[in-house]
Amino acid sequence: MAAPTAVLGQPAPGHVDSSVEDAVAVLPSLFVPEACQWLSTTAGRVALEGYSWMQAVQWIAGSGLYQPRRHRSHGPRSFGPTTVRIAQELAQLSPCRPGIEYLMRRTGLSERTVEYHLGMLREAGLLAWIVRGTRVSGGPAQASEFALMIPTAFDEGLGIRTVQRDETAPGYTRAACGIAEAGRELMAKLAKKAARKVRKPRSKPGSKASGKRSRKGAQQGVVTGVSGEARCTPIQVGTSAGSSAGGTYSPHEEKLASGEAKSPTPKKSTKRAGGRRKQNKVGRRFQLARELVQELDWLRGCAVPRIAWVARGVADAGWTVTDVRAWLHLRGEVTRVRRGSGLLAVLLTEAESVLDTPTKRAAAIDQWRGAQEAARRHRIEQVRARTERYDGDWTGPTSYRVQQEVAAAFAKVREVANGGRALLHADDGVLVGEAASSPAEGGVQGLRDEEIAETRNDARQRLMMGDTSPITLAVDTLGREEAEQLFGPALVRHGLQLAYGARSSLMTYGR
């Protein structure tokens, strides 16, 4: 078994606890080289549980036997409260396999600081490697596994007797079987220290002097090894070193918890009244871009940063997505889009200068909403007419000639119901006209050229919007020949193609 290397020289008297000064006066400085920091080569014994191990940690912290700066030129200067905090986290693990990130998250320390203090625990003989962690490129990092060790200096300083119960077992399995009378009182003090929890010292960020005093208190008063000093000091208001008994009133904690009294130093809330921070210029641009991509179908799939750059002018002017949609309605609807961001850039040209006031934008929004309502009602009428035409109980004939005769019969019936020219003969029930001898008066005769042209233009505009009802209604009532005389053969053929295609599942529009 390799023993800890003895480095000549005693620790400074200011760092040695008075209660253990006599016990460590004859002990050399403590340092375990890296070759002896493995479980198979260590001279210490394995701690049976974390509580007894923390007694050894507290003894090392208060004795001053281990001074890290004697063996390296960088890192922590002493075995202090930070090392004890990390030791407390290790004492709670079974098996002791802590990751560096885990200790960073639990203690709030940096990676380099955690590595420094783990190395100090190994050099003091309190930790021994069972498995050393590795970091293989391309694979997951493996955490190191440690054994909690009690160094031989601790047993010698307190007069602890150990026994090897199994001669065939390694030397680190020996167990304590007794303690000298001189070390019992010291062991009781170490037990109290081991039961305490070392927490991160709190410091006020108000001044540098208070920060220095808090760090000094953390080094001197938080962890003092086995000394009999109090670990905590009463919380006082202010940074003055004088007594505050006559000036500041500090209510009892029970009154603070029950709401009967208020703290003399209330914390200021860093949250805004609305709960969220106010957006800056870039945030407003990206918010408008996300809303545009969600609401405009022809912008689906466009990159939000690109749309934010295109709409930066209107976003900086305070426009909302409703304002933008109203402006796009004024510019005209689109049916075929190749590149949505480019089209949006063209449509938003000079938008903020045309609708430069909230009143103008409100008027545009009203106009857009009115158009939306009109389009909605028009779609309802189309669906209703299509349902009445194709979803009824009666199935129309397939022959085109028969369809014309049926349409003519229905047209005459409607004229009779409305008091028109068609009359129903009372004797035989045959439909005849007032002027049966002159059948040429039906159809488009009697209409002026201006009326026919106006009718064709209206049907053409409706057809461009996808409405084929004027043409199909004319074909159903007048017949195809007279419908072609009224609208023209090309317009009637186009309208019937769209009407028949709308009932087919193989044809789609607007794609």
For residue 345, the tally of other CB atoms under 10 A from its CB is: 16
- Res. 55: pLDDT tops 70: yes
- Tokens 């857009």 sit on residue: 368
Q: CA nearest 76: which of 48, 132, 114?
A: 114
- Res. 317: pLDDT tops 70: yes
Task: State residue 238's pLDDT score.
Answer: 42
Task: State residue 65's pLDDT score.
Answer: 85
> pLDDT digit string (tens) for 80-96?
889 999 999 999 988 88
User: What residues does 129 pair with on adjacent strands?
Assistant: 38, 146
- Res. 219: pLDDT tops 80: no
Task: State residue 229's pLDDT score.
Answer: 40
- Res. 321: pLDDT tops 90: yes
For residue 176, the tally of other CB atoms under 10 A from its CB is: 16
Instruction: Please state, for a pLDDT cut of 70, what percent of the chain lies above it.
Output: 66
Question: Which carries the bigger pLDDT value, residue 236 or residue 112?
Answer: 112
State the pLDDT confidence band at 232, using cuts at 50, 70 and 90.
very low
Mean pLDDT, rounded, for 360-386: 87
Cα gap 112→409, rounded to integer Å: 97
> pLDDT digit string (tens) for 248-270?
455 555 554 455 555 555 555 55
Mean pLDDT, the chain, rounded, equals: 75
- Tokens 């007032």 sit on residue: 434
User: What residues does 149 pair with on adjacent strands?
Assistant: 46
pTM for the whole thing?
Answer: 0.39
Q: CA nearest 305: which of 280, 288, 321?
A: 288
Residue type for position 159: G
Cα gap 185→494, rounded to integer Å: 108
State the pLDDT confidence band at 246, using cuts at 50, 70 and 90.
very low
- Res. 474: pLDDT tops 50: yes
> pLDDT digit string (tens) for 109-153?
999 999 999 999 999 999 999 988 876 666 677 788 999 999 998
Question: Which carries the bigger pLDDT value, residue 277 or residue 156?
Answer: 156
State the pLDDT confidence band at 398, using cuts at 50, 70 and 90.
low
Cα gap 286→290, rounded to integer Å: 6
Give 322: exposed, middle or buried? Use CB within 10 Å, 0-12, 13-18, 19+: middle
Task: State residue 348's pLDDT score.
Answer: 92
Instruction: Please state, for a pLDDT cut of 90, what percent of the chain lies above it.
Output: 21
Mean pLDDT, rounded, for 491-503: 79
Cα gap 214→188, rounded to integer Å: 29
> pLDDT digit string (tens) for 290-302?
999 999 988 988 9
In contact, 194 and 58? CB cutoff 8 Å: yes
Cα gap 208→384, rounded to integer Å: 80
Task: State residue 10's pLDDT score.
Answer: 35
Cα gap 182→26, rounded to integer Å: 15
3-state secondary structure of 321: helix
Max CA distance (Å), the chain: 143
Task: State residue 284's pLDDT score.
Answer: 92
State the pLDDT confidence band at 310, using cuts at 50, 70 and 90.
very high
- Res. 97: pLDDT tops 90: no
In contact, 335 and 510? CB cutoff 8 Å: yes
Cα gap 483→443, rounded to integer Å: 8
In contact, 344 and 321? CB cutoff 8 Å: no
Task: State residue 233's pLDDT score.
Answer: 39
Degrees, nearest 5: CA angle 444-450-456: 65
- Res. 379: pLDDT tops 80: yes
Q: CA nearest 118: which of 151, 153, 82, 93?
A: 82
Cα gap 244→241, rounded to integer Å: 9
Q: Which of 30-34, 147-151, 237-241, 404-408 has the lowest mean pLDDT?
A: 237-241
